[in-house]
Each structure stands twice: as structure tokens, then as C-alpha cells.
Amino acid sequence: MTSLPGAASFTSEGHGANAGVGVLLSHGFTGSPVSLAAWARYLADRGYAVSLPLLPGHGTSWQELQRTPWQRWYEEYESAYFTLRERTSCVVSGGLSMGGALALRLAARQPVAGVAVVNPGLTFGDPRARYSGVLKYFLKSVPAIGNDIRLPGQDEGAYPRTPVGAVHQLRQLFRDTAASLPAVTAPVLAFRSRVDAVVPESSMEVLRRRLLNAELEVVPLENSYHVATMDHDAPLIFERSHEFIQHVSSGVRA
């Protein structure tokens, strides 16, 4: 199926002193690389080898996402990790929302230097999500969850509907990732919006409670909603993540 305009993946080979450091990013559920394009370009401009894949079932139609199991999202992300790892000395995983869950799951299974996530999803605010495994047989889709952005004029390129079957897949991913968190040992930098209509605060509570063997730093975002990488606080995210990557990769940059 043809991808939606602007939804293509992004890669950068890296240059200069930071070329030996890979940064792997992931967009969120029902979204596309549009939401992280500016972050990816910012890091690429600073010389990192950057990969921002388009996840299966995304960037096409919500009906396509309805047919896509969560394992394919993770496999695509992990495949991009292996490609980066072949040509870099270390990799930092990162992502927005569901992409944050993928980044944390990867860190529990593969060696990464650090994890940088923005409003990572691990739980649901809508109580109907727990029944999505049954509801999917009666209700194909619900209203969109995209574009929770305070800054006017932004569009993350999310689907106009949210497929209920895919919500059930997302619930399984969240549950699996939460169970994996004790295996994460790399430092984690989490950016958290004060106001977020998509990911509830319970996601951060799970992260704090289950991240038993890794250092966690939480940076509050005072002037952004859920898609903070396209919001007022985007420059803060970009600059602090750059500093974080420099710190966790020190001594291994090729």
C-alpha cells in the first residue's frame, strides 16, 4: 500500500566525531515519522547516525494497522537497530509514546548506551482499552487520538480513526514492555508533558516502579501536550537529548 505524504522513514549515515554513535527513534501509535522528523534531523545535523523507520501498518491506512500484530512493529524497530549497530560503536534508543515503549523493550533485550523517550506509553487512560480484545469484534474503530499538540498549525500525520483491533495489540505490547523493564540497565531520559490527553500519568508510575536497575531522569515539559516533539518544548527535547547522548556515549565514539 502506498505511504501517506511525508510518512517516509528517515536515515542519516552520520559524520564527524559523532558518526560512531547511532540513534534509533520510533514514532507513536497511528502516527508516522512526521512526528519525529525535526528531532531526527537535529541529531543528524550533529553528526549522529540516525534511523527513524516507518513502522508496519502505519503511514498508510487505519485498516492496514488493524491487520498488523504488535510483534511486527517491534521487529521493524529491532531490525533498524541491527543495521545501525553494524556501523556504529553504540546505539541510543528513543521514541515518542508507543515508540517509547519500543525503545524500552529494545533496551531490555539488546545492548544500548541509553534510552531517550518522550511521553512513553505503558498504560491507557481510556478504561475501554482493557476490553479491546472483545470490542474489536463489534467496533472497528474509534475517533482519532492524534495531534494532541499545543502549538498551533502542527499536524503529525496520524490516522483519522483509531482501529480497535490495533488497540488490543498495543495493550499486549505495553504489558510485555512493562514486564521487561527490570532487565533495562542503560540510563533512561524521559521527557514528560504536564498536560497529556493521550498517555496517562500511570505510564510514568509504571516506569518508575518497574525500572529497577537503571538510572532514570525525568524532564518536565511545561508548555507542550502529548506530541511534544512538534510542540513548544521541542527545542528543549532536542538539546537535552543531544547532551544525554554525548554523555552516555562518551568513550565509545569512533
Examine the pLDDT at 134 and tell me if it is beyond 70. no
> pLDDT tens, 167-204?
999 999 999 999 999 999 999 999 999 999 999 999 99
Confidence of residue 141 (pLDDT cuts 50, 70, 90): confident
Buried b (16+ CB within 10 A) or exposed e, 13-40: ebeeebbbbbbbbbbbbbbbbbbbbebb
> pLDDT tens, 23-82?
999 999 999 999 999 999 999 999 999 999 999 999 999 999 999 999 999 999 999 999
State the pLDDT at residue 168: 94
Examine the pLDDT at 8 and tell me if it is beyond 90. no
State the pLDDT at residue 54: 97
Contacts of 234 (CB under 8 A, 6+ apart): 38, 39, 224, 228
Q: Annotated catalytic residue: which of 12, 51, 93, 97? A: 97
Examine the pLDDT at 96 and tell me if it is beyond 70. yes
CA–CA dist 59, 83 (Å, integer): 22
Looking from the CA of 8 toward its CB, the CA atoms found within 13 Å total 4
State the pLDDT at residue 137: 73
Q: Which of 107, 116, 118, 133 is nearest to 198 (CA)?
A: 118
State the pLDDT at residue 253: 57
- Percent of the chain scoring above 70 in pLDDT: 93
Question: Is there a catalytic annotation at residue 97?
Answer: yes
Q: Tell me the whole-structure pTM to 2 decimals.
A: 0.95
Mean pLDDT, residues 15-19:
95
Residue 95 near residue 23, CB atoms below 8 Å: no
Examine the pLDDT at 138 and tell me if it is beyond 90. no
Q: Annotated catalytic residue: which of 26, 27, 93, 196? A: 196
Confidence of residue 139 (pLDDT cuts 50, 70, 90): confident
Q: Annotated catalytic residue: which of 27, 58, 168, 226? A: 226
- Percent of the chain scoring above 90 in pLDDT: 86
Examine the pLDDT at 1 and tell me if it is beyond 80. no
Mean pLDDT, residues 77-94:
97
The chain-wide mean pLDDT, for the chain, equals 93
Examine the pLDDT at 5 and tell me if it is beyond 80. no
CA–CA dist 108, 112 (Å, integer): 9
Structure-block grid coordinates of residue 177: 514492555
Confidence of residue 207 (pLDDT cuts 50, 70, 90): very high
